[in-house]
């Protein structure tokens, strides 16, 4: 849940009369939210409000005041569980990308060895992870594994094995996008056989919690060169 939404919700709650037996929640960003605490699911506190159900991680909450009474304050301490070896430092989380199918290849043809270096560069395969519009991870396979000579035409085939990777990010709500493509999919598009690789999988409203790792499992359909089913798996 974006911080700006929390602030907006808190202002709206403050503008309406408080219902009897309601709770007042104070968040670490100084927002104040009125609602009813209905359940605690692990480290997630669930509140009912006029605007629907709100969920907060324990580390977002400083205190809860029950029944609008200043004498009835319940502090919500941070979790005391140990941090896994592969988890990010406190206040940060981690995104890990795991490929189910690892083999990927692309092929480009060159007539009369014209613009050889430019064709080779176009055929490089890039793997990138963008978080909130910024490149968080990028790698390029620049090897050509096979060269096939057919008279005046040469075919370059680039075969790679996709490698898993991970990056640390600030906790909170993020928009992520995984890109697997040839370096240049436009200039020599007609020379690719059958076509350049250009695969994009977006992950919107990706909630990263402090000290937790989220794994994005990806599959690839080689026949169509399209990214297959992707799923989000939280790892605690």
In tens digits, the chain (236 residues) has pLDDT values of 444 434 433 433 343 334 344 677 776 666 667 777 777 666 677 777 665 677 777 667 777 775 544 443 343 344 434 445 555 455 788 899 888 878 888 999 999 999 999 999 999 999 999 998 889 999 988 888 889 898 899 999 998 888 999 999 998 888 888 989 999 999 999 999 888 998 888 887 788 888 888 888 887 765 444 555 566 667 65
Question: d(Cα 219, Cα 98) in Å, to the nearest integer?
Answer: 9
Q: What is the pLDDT of residue 231?
A: 63
Q: What is the pLDDT of residue 232?
A: 66
Residue 81: how many CB atoms within 10 A of its CB? 9
pTM greater than the 0.75 cutoff: no
Q: What is the pLDDT of residue 81?
A: 40
| Edge-to-edge strand ranges of the sheet holding 146-150 | 103-111, 153-161, 146-150
Domain 3-75 has CATH 3.30.365.10: no
Q: What is the pLDDT of residue 102?
A: 83
H/E element, 204: strand 198-208
70 φ, ψ (degrees, to nearest 5): -65, -20
For residue 136, list its beta bridge partners: none
Q: What is the pLDDT of residue 79?
A: 40
Residue 16: how many CB atoms within 10 A of its CB? 9
Q: What is the pLDDT of residue 115?
A: 93
Domain-wise residue ranges, the chain = 3-75, 92-235
Question: d(Cα 128, Cα 175) in Å, to the nearest integer?
Answer: 14
CB 212, CB 93: distance < 8 Å: yes
Q: Which residue has the tokens 């907006």?
A: 8
58 φ, ψ (degrees, to nearest 5): -55, -35
CA dihedral (55, 232, 134, 226) positive or negative: negative
Question: d(Cα 24, Cα 27) in Å, to the nearest integer?
Answer: 10
Question: d(Cα 107, Cα 207) in Å, to the nearest integer?
Answer: 38
Q: What is the pLDDT of residue 182?
A: 92
Question: d(Cα 32, Cα 9) in Å, to the nearest integer?
Answer: 9
Q: What is the pLDDT of residue 139?
A: 92
Q: What is the pLDDT of residue 224?
A: 47
């Amino acid at each position: 849940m974006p911080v700006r939404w929390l602030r907006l919700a808190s202002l709206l709650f403050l503008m309406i009369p408080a219902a009897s037996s309601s709770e007042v929640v104070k968040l670490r960003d100084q927002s104040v939210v009125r609602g009813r605490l209905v359940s605690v699911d692990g480290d997630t506190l669930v509140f009912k409000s006029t605007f629907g159900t709100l969920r907060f991680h324990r580390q977002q909450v400083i205190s809860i005041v029950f029944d609008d009474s200043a004498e009835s304050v319940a502090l919500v301490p941070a979790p005391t569980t140990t941090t896994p070896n592969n988890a990010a430092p406190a206040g940060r989380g981690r995104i890990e990308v795991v490929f189910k199918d690892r083999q990927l290849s692309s092929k480009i043809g060159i007539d009369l060895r014209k613009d050889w270096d430019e064709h080779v560069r176009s055929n490089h395969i890039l793997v990138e992870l963008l978080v909130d519009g910024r490149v968080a991870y990028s790698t390029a396979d620049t090897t050509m594994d096979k060269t096939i000579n057919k008279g005046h035409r040469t075919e370059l085939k680039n075969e790679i094995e996709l490698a898993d990777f991970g990056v640390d990010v600030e906790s909170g709500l993020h928009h992520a996008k995984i890109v697997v493509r040839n370096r240049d999919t436009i200039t020599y598009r007609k020379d690719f056989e059958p076509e350049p690789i250009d695969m994009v999988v977006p992950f919107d409203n990706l909630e990263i919690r402090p000290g937790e790792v989220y794994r994005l499992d990806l599959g690839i359909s080689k026949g169509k060169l399209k990214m297959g089913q992707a799923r989000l798996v939280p790892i605690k």
